[in-house]
Structure 1
Amino acid sequence: MNDEKKNFSLSERFEVAYNLIHDALKQLVDGEEDRFSVLLKVGQPRHHLIDRFYNDLKQYSKLRNAIVHEKREPGLYIAQPNEEVVEHIEKIAAIFGKPMTGLSIATKEVKFFETTQSLLEVLEAIQKYGYSQYPIYEEKNYKGLLKTTHILSWMSDTLQDGKINIADRTVADLIPYIKEAPIEFVQKDINIFEIEEIFEEKHRRKIDLEAVIVNENGEENQWPIGLITPWDLIEIDYTVD
């Protein structure tokens, strides 16, 4: 009797986790079709998260059909998930249900400059932080993404008699050297799966997105609170083991 109760509990836990994943799939895969297997097939090439667990979820879909549709009588199942399977699908459901925010992988201490700041401040920041790119703003409006290579170009053009005069030079002097770079602005509560989709969508259009700037509401005229580059996506961990 105790074994029967345990099995029934495992089956219920499995179905609860399965249903949570199903709901998440319907949100991720926008369309009229809501069958689990179809959502998996359609969503796999579009979403990293679905692709990551595609094989597991495909097998769990078959198991779920056996559990739900092949009962001999109420409470008596032909197929039973073991505890390891149940724990695994529950972990997957947790990942689908509570995705991390983009800020969890973003550079939190974003160093940015206004055009009125001195060039000396920029060089000191490079020495202190070691970042390779810095958002530039003019009266809170985004002007471009300053890279160290842009500064080197400016220095090369400014070099006279082996010397570079940075006295009274400001970030505004560097603006002509900042090359246009593909940037996206997103709100602070965006999740990591949406961030991945932004990079993937740009990639499909053969656009190399330099960075995603996170701010309060995703507007260009707001101070940055996070910066995400393609390298930051490596930090996303879908491990459930």
Structure 2
Amino acid sequence: MKNSERYIIAFNRIDAAMKKMCHSTNMPFFKLIDCARRHNAVVRRYEHDLREFAELRNAIVHDRTEQAYVIAEPHHQVVQKIEQIARKITKPVTVGQLFRRKVVTLQANDSLLIGLRLIREQKFNQFPLYDRQHFIGMITAMGITYWLSDRMTEGMPKGKIPKLRDVHQHEKRKKSYRFVRQNMPIYEAVEIFQKGVTSGNRIEALLITENGREKEKLLGIVTPMDIVRAHK
């Protein structure tokens, strides 16, 4: 198959996917981009490329002088790139596919020693905290540090080991997480972290459940570092 044929096939897959997003059957491609970018993080990520792809597609399809002749035969790397983007748009990798795993959780009545042991042995720096099945928030290494700082000034009763419920009260940022659905495309997760940084409300963890609801079973967790490793 010629590169131009592969290119048109990939382009048409993107075109069909965006028409489905926009519930349209005849919208021009450039308008489709404007529409689809409001719904799809991959389109937003590759908007510039998609506009350039449209120009090349027009050269291939509209400017040829006969059926077997094309004015522009795309370079192999260009074909690979449009095919890759077509896959990302039509079959996006989800957070559930990449980060579904057993998550270590702690209970509100667990002692601080349990959390400290996990930090030391597992190198974790944050844990979901529950009161039985009810989600309370995240216990972080920084929150424990804040708790310790307060105790150093107030004085800690000898022999008394606090519960994690008490330590959680010292978390300065109690909303540094978000629950997300397991079929969320990975590029949407990337955008959540990026928007958190630019808005000054940094997100430290995305908690994965089936439909992104707090009361559902926790299926996985994503941190900014997980995203960095996944894109290496």
Shorter-chain TM-score tier: 0.7 to 0.9
Pairing partner for 1:209 from 195, 200, 203 = 203
Residue of structure 1 in register with 2:112 after alignment: 119
Residue of structure 2 in register with 1:188 after alignment: 182
Distance 1:107-1:94 versus aligned 2 partners, 3 A rule: closer
Question: Where in structure 1 are there 5+ consecutive unaligned residues?
Answer: 1-5
2:8 is equivalent to residue 15 of structure 1: yes
Residue of structure 2 in register with 1:136 after alignment: 129
How far apart are the structure 1 equivalents of 2:89 and 2:220? 23
Amino acid paired to 1:57: L
Q: CA deviation at 1:191?
A: 1.6
Distance 1:208-1:69 versus aligned 2 partners, 3 A rule: same
Residue of structure 2 in register with 1:92 after alignment: 85
* Percent identity between the two aligned chains: 29
Residue of structure 1 in register with 2:215 after alignment: 221
Q: TM-score, normalised by structure 1?
A: 0.75
Native 8 Å contact 2:36 2:43 kept in 1: yes
Q: How much is the aligned-residue C-alpha RMSD, in angstroms?
A: 3.4
1:4-52 per-residue CA deviation (whole Å, 9 max, x = no partner) reads: xx5xx43222111011222344566x58794323444677799764465
Native 8 Å contact 2:11 2:82 kept in 1: yes
Native 8 Å contact 1:105 1:233 kept in 2: no
Native 8 Å contact 2:8 2:57 kept in 1: yes
Q: TM-score, normalised by structure 2?
A: 0.77
Question: Where in structure 2 are there 5+ consecutive unaligned residues?
Answer: none
1:127-149 per-residue CA deviation (whole Å, 9 max, x = no partner) reads: 11222211111121211111122
Residue of structure 2 in register with 1:3 after alignment: none
Q: CA deviation at 1:115?
A: 0.9
Amino acid paired to 2:58: N
Distance 1:140-1:199 versus aligned 2 partners, 3 A rule: same
Pairing partner for 1:176 from 169, 176, 188 = 169
Helix, strand or coil at the partner of 1:76: coil
Residue of structure 2 in register with 1:70 after alignment: 63
Native 8 Å contact 2:146 2:171 kept in 1: no
How far apart are the structure 1 equivalents of 2:197 and 2:181? 21
Helix, strand or coil at the partner of 2:169: helix
How far apart are the structure 1 equivalents of 2:88 and 2:178? 25
Q: CA deviation at 1:190?
A: 1.7
Helix, strand or coil at the partner of 1:71: coil
How far apart are the structure 2 equivalents of 1:222 and 1:234? 27
Amino acid paired to 1:211: A
1:47-84 per-residue CA deviation (whole Å, 9 max, x = no partner) reads: 76446544443332112112222232333333333444
Q: CA deviation at 1:106?
A: 4.0
Distance 1:183-1:87 versus aligned 2 partners, 3 A rule: closer
Native 8 Å contact 1:155 1:164 kept in 2: no
Q: CA deviation at 1:197?
A: 3.6
Native 8 Å contact 2:142 2:171 kept in 1: no
How far apart are the structure 2 equivalents of 1:125 and 1:45? 41
Give the paired residue count: 229
Helix, strand or coil at the partner of 2:221: strand
Distance 1:124-1:82 versus aligned 2 partners, 3 A rule: closer
How far apart are the structure 1 equivalents of 2:193 and 2:40? 11
Helix, strand or coil at the partner of 1:186: strand
Amino acid paired to 1:175: H
